[in-house]
């Protein structure tokens, strides 16, 4: 028997952790984004730094050979060396991130991309600030300043990200297959005669979230929340089955899913019948160009 109770329960139990990662666009659309964690960012930074330092070493070796042949003086050799440092540690990273829209060798390896705080692609200004700041926080401090800043930031931002208004977005995430729960066996006889009216969207979402997350709740929270939700859902269902509150919610969720699916199939069938009238020409209209 479903116990109708007026006790209010903390709805925070049904809040998905992904809401903390939501990014609301200008069109008020919430996107589920995941910043790259500290370990991934460290690995990507090490790969990028190794690639740029390797490029610097190759160019410096070429410069040494050219200076020996052409007999450069010390001042000219130092000026060219400074130019190589700026080119390899600032210009090349800025160009790579701008041309690839936030990707680099290290970002490709860890499956991340540098984006603006609003989720958009970075521009030359953002890439230049990140590259210029990276000379100090990555190369001059051997990554210590970048690591300290990332550890104290919720999105693992380094100092260059804070100044440029960017962060590393993790894009290589596994595809999560949501489990589909069928109708409980105790409600097999109830389903053919059940009348489940349309529920308010917030209530329907809470029921769906409860069915998905109830296995991870404590027994007390699970029972209390099931009875509280069942009391709210009961006014939209007739007749009320004499089953446990959890089975009742699972049955209502399955009935709503089946009826929504049947409604979509019916809509597709009706549109299919209208397709000839929508795409065809009027009766007696000449077909030109054939």
Least confident span in 110-124, 188-202, 268-282 = 268-282
Tens digits of per-residue pLDDT, 52-92?
Answer: 999 999 998 988 888 788 877 778 878 888 899 999 999 99
Tens digits of per-residue pLDDT, 237-251?
Answer: 888 888 888 888 888
Q: At 67, is the secondary structure helix, strand, or coil?
A: helix
Higher pLDDT, 269 or 281: 269
Same domain, residue pair 150 and 205 = no
89 within a domain of the structure (yes/no): yes
Q: How far apart are CA 14 and CA 212, in angstroms?
A: 10
Same domain, residue pair 62 and 166 = yes
Structure tokens at 290: 């054939």
Same domain, residue pair 49 and 157 = yes
Same domain, residue pair 204 and 162 = no
3 within a domain of the structure (yes/no): no
Same domain, residue pair 150 and 47 = yes
Same domain, residue pair 120 and 162 = yes
Closest C-alpha to 147, from 51, 49, 56: 49
Higher pLDDT, 8 or 209: 209
Secondary structure (DSSP) of 245-286: HHHHHHHHHHHHHHHHHHHHHHHHHHHHHHHHHHHSPPTT--
Residues near 98 by Cβ (< 8 Å), separated by ≥ 6? 122, 123, 124, 127
pTM of the predicted model as reported, rounded to 2 decimal places: 0.57
4 within a domain of the structure (yes/no): no
21 within a domain of the structure (yes/no): no
| Last residue within a domain, chosen from 140, 170, 200 | 170
Helix (H) or strand (E) holding 195: strand 195-196
Same domain, residue pair 223 and 163 = no
14 within a domain of the structure (yes/no): no
55 within a domain of the structure (yes/no): yes
- Structural domain including 260 reads 187-270
Same domain, residue pair 47 and 159 = yes
Give the residue ranges of DSSP H helices in 28-185: 38-70, 74-86, 92-99, 105-110, 124-134, 144-151, 159-164
Closest C-alpha to 164, from 106, 137, 124: 124
Q: At 51, is the secondary structure helix, strand, or coil?
A: helix
Higher pLDDT, 290 or 108: 108
86 within a domain of the structure (yes/no): yes
What average pLDDT does the segment 232-239 reach? 90
| Overall domain count for the chain | 2
Mean pLDDT of the residues in the chain: 82
């Amino acid at each position: 028997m479903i116990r109708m109770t007026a006790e209010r329960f903390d709805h925070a139990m049904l809040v998905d952790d992904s809401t903390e990662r939501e990014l609301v666009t200008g069109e008020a659309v919430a996107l589920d984004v995941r910043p790259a964690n500290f370990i991934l960012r460290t690995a990507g930074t090490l790969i990028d730094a190794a690639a740029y330092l390797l490029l610097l070493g190759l160019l410096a070796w070429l410069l040494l050979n050219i200076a020996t042949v052409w007999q450069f003086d010390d001042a000219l050799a130092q000026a060219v060396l400074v130019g190589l440092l700026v080119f390899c540690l600032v210009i090349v990273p800025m160009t790579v991130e701008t041309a690839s829209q936030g990707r680099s060798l290290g970002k490709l390896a860890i499956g991340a991309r540098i984006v603006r705080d609003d989720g958009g692609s970075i521009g030359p200004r953002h890439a230049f600030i990140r590259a210029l700041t990276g000379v100090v926080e990555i190369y001059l401090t051997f990554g210590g300043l970048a690591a300290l800043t990332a550890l104290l930031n919720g999105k693992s931002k380094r100092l260059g990200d804070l100044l440029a208004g960017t962060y590393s977005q993790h894009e290589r995430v596994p595809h999560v297959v949501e489990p589909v729960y069928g109708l409980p066996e105790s409600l097999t006889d109830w389903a053919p005669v059940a009348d489940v009216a349309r529920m308010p969207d917030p209530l329907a979402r809470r029921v769906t979230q409860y069915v998905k997350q109830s296995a991870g709740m404590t027994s007390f929270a699970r029972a209390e929340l099931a009875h509280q939700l069942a009391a709210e859902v009961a006014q939209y269902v007739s007749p009320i089955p004499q089953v446990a509150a959890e089975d009742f919610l699972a049955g209502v969720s399955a009935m709503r899913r089946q009826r929504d699916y049947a409604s979509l199939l019916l809509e597709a069938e009706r549109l299919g019948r209208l397709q000839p009238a929508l795409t065809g020409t009027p009766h007696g209209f000449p077909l030109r160009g054939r």
